[in-house]
């Protein structure tokens, strides 16, 4: 019997020592999970774009239903929760139903929980109640925004407006002054002048 060539030796080795398929399972499962996650995120993004298009067409209820579907697909996405909250807030502002209020409150809180260092959910949540002239509650909801982003002029302007509406001129002027120092926009400058001590 002649000497085996290298290709023949490799074939014999593969027949003698087959690849243990079960070793591939731990590698395959994460890959499948990542692929599934990517598909889910893509679908959520598509639904978000659809909701925006529906909003532009004044299909407000359909847009909110689409946002709910997107948030359900990707419940750990803080931006989707914020979009859901803002949609519910807009509907609640005009309709005033307790269901929409609960949906908005819950989604704002969820967005804050998912992204604890993000100031925008607190700011937007506060605006929900300022629209209804519930300034004391709005002021309370706004406070976390300063913890996360204390140098945002817009937050100081919002705070100043609430304080002025609550008949707290000294505190309001301090907030306007802080806003003016960060960004001397007309609203802040005018607020400082308007509430200047005689």
Q: Picking from 19-28, 38-47, 186-195, which range would have the lowest pLDDT averaged per residue?
A: 19-28
Using CA atoms, how far residue 88 sits from 12, 54, 105, 131, in Å, is 68, 15, 9, 13
Q: Express each pLDDT in 120-139 by its tens digit.
A: 999 999 999 999 999 999 99
pLDDT band with cut points at 50, 70 and 90 for residue 2? low
Q: Would you say how long the chain is, in residues?
A: 198
**pTM for the structure as a whole:** 0.78
The reported pLDDT for the residue numbered 33 is: 47
Nearest to 82, CA basis, from 94, 71, 97: 71
* 3-state secondary structure labels for all residues of 105-150: HHHHHHHHHHCCCCCHHHHHHHHHHHCCCCHHHHHHHHHHHHHHCC
Query: Cα angle vertex 171, ends 165, 172, to 5°?
Result: 45
Alpha-helix runs per DSSP H in the chain: 6-16, 25-56, 60-73, 78-95, 98-114, 120-130, 135-148, 153-165, 169-182, 186-194
Average pLDDT over residues 144-164: 97
- DSSP code at position 3: P
Distant-in-sequence contacts of 68-72, Cβ < 8 A, 24+ apart: 70/44, 70/45, 71/44, 71/107
Q: Express each pLDDT in 31-79 by its tens digit.
A: 554 555 567 677 888 999 999 999 999 999 999 999 999 999 999 999 9
Average pLDDT over residues 136-155: 97
Average pLDDT over residues 82-109: 97
In order of their start, the domains of the chain are 32-115 (1.25.40.10)
């Amino acid at each position: 019997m002649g000497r085996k060539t290298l290709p023949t030796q490799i074939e014999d080795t593969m027949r003698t020592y087959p690849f243990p398929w079960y070793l591939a399972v731990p590698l395959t499962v994460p890959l499948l999970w990542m692929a599934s996650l990517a598909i889910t995120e893509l679908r959520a993004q598509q639904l978000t774009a659809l909701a925006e298009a529906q909003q532009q067409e004044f299909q407000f209820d359909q847009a909110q239903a689409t946002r709910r579907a997107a948030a359900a697909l990707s419940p750990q996405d803080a931006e989707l929760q914020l979009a859901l909250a803002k949609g519910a807030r807009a509907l609640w502002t005009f309709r005033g139903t307790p269901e929409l209020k609960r949906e908005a409150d819950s989604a704002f809180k969820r967005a804050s929980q998912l992204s604890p260092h993000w100031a925008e959910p607190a700011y937007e949540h506060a605006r929900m109640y300022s629209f209804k002239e519930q300034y004391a509650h709005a002021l309370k909801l706004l406070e976390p925004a300063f913890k996360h982003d204390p140098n945002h002029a817009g937050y100081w302007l919002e705070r100043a407006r609430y304080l002025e509406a609550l008949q707290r001129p000294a505190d309001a002027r301090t907030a306007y002054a802080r806003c003016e120092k960060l960004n001397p926009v007309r609203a802040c400058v005018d607020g400082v002048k308007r509430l200047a001590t005689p």
